[in-house]
Amino acid sequence: MINFYSILDKIIQFDTTSHKSNFEVISYIEHLFEKKNNYKIYKVLNSEKNKSSILIKPKENFKKGILFSGHIDTVSVEGQKWSSDPFKLKKRNNKLFGRGTSDMKGFLSVVISNMLNNNDKNLPFYLSITHDEETGCQGIKNLSKFINSKNISLPSMCIVGEPTKLKIVTANKGVEVFDTIIETKKEHGHSSNYNQRVNTITLSSEMIVYLQFIQSIIPKKNILMCSPNNTSIHIGMLNGGTSHNIIPKKSQFRTEIRYVKDDLKFVKNKFLKFQKKLFNKYLKYINDFKVNTKILAEVPGLQEKNQKKIKNYMKNLNISENYHVPYGTEAGIIQKLGPSTIIFGPGSIEQAHKPNEFILIDQLEKFDRLLKQMK
């Protein structure tokens, strides 16, 4: 018998920050399951071939079952002040400290231990473990393409184990991140010769101001049960120019839209129309300018559809209360594969990404008992 504590103690030791390879921790997990003859492991590499996602499923093709899904990558600890080593599990006051304890290695440890110790259950367990969730969900996208291309059958229900304090989440916002790049073919010039009408930085500024205006006119039809409950537009980065006395040839800014349902289309249509209007306004000054948009990340939100089966199943376990969250997850991508999907896991999102990240031992033990009840 292997318990979840010993598994968590081990996988916390692997630094799985998103920009690093995850091969060592994936190999450790593979080794655990290789001792069990009734599981099959599918391994999918990223394009750089330095990370992998895995799908662990029973060798027998069951029509029933439940898929547990989680990511193994974590955010960086750089610049954070920890009271203990973030890559060594530390127990203190009914809490387990370490990077990823809450988000979401605690969840994975409990699922893995139950699959290893109770693999003869009437309700088969499946598990997906992915890379790069924190930077755009590329791991689950790669795994989804592989599943579709190989016609791999999945169970009809799925739990994505983000930390929700063991409460059901039935919807979360989608996320799109894009760079807007404005540049001119003109050579750099001295600022004393400039007519002050327009340059790449002032154009970026006008676009940013308009994006913030769009925020105020988004129809309020798409509202979630969370805070903030509406679509949000955030400018996170702005770069441009080389010196205070040189006319800037190029500027760019990064926009993040956390959207509900079809609000993304509304925002992007408004923004595109404004860009055209702006360039028509300055056409006699900027006929040598160009603007490009580069999408960096696209993650659909979890929708409240096709959830009756998993919600009814959880109700049989005396868990029925549900709510929504404003952050992004892999759930919307998995939902598109077909399973009846919710977000549900031990720990609190309030601890995620922070120094001294922790998870309550009580949460892990309660989740462990819950999995043992699943039949």
- For residue range 260-277, what is the model confidence (pLDDT) as tens digits? 999 999 999 999 999 999
Cis ω on the peptide bond leading into residue 104 (within 30° of 0)?
yes
Mean pLDDT value of segment 341-367: 97
Q: Indicate the CATH number of 174-298 among 3.40.190.10, 3.40.50.300, 3.40.640.10, 3.30.70.360.
A: 3.30.70.360
Where in the chain do CATH 3.40.630.10 domains reside?
4-172+302-373
Chain centre distance of CA 44 = 18
CB of 372 within 8 A of CB of 317? no
* Angle between helical axes of 4-11 and 106-117 (0-180°, round to 10): 130
Specify the pLDDT at position 119: 59
Q: Is the pLDDT of residue 38 over 90?
A: no
Specify the pLDDT at position 27: 97
Residues 365, 368, 372, 375, CA torsion sign? positive
Where in the chain do CATH 3.30.70.360 domains reside?
174-298
pLDDT above 70 covers what percent of the chain? 97
Mean pLDDT, the chain, rounded, equals 93
CA distance 9 to 96: 9
Specify the pLDDT at position 188: 67
Helix (H) or strand (E) holding 296: strand 289-299
CA distance 285 to 279: 9
Q: Is the pLDDT of residue 195 over 80?
A: no
Q: What is the CATH topology of the domain spanning 4-172+302-373?
A: Aminopeptidase (3.40.630)
Q: What does the pLDDT look like over 278-288, one tens digit per residue?
A: 888 887 777 67
Partners of 246 in beta bridges:
190
Mean pLDDT value of segment 335-357: 97
Specify the pLDDT at position 285: 73
Specify the pLDDT at position 279: 85
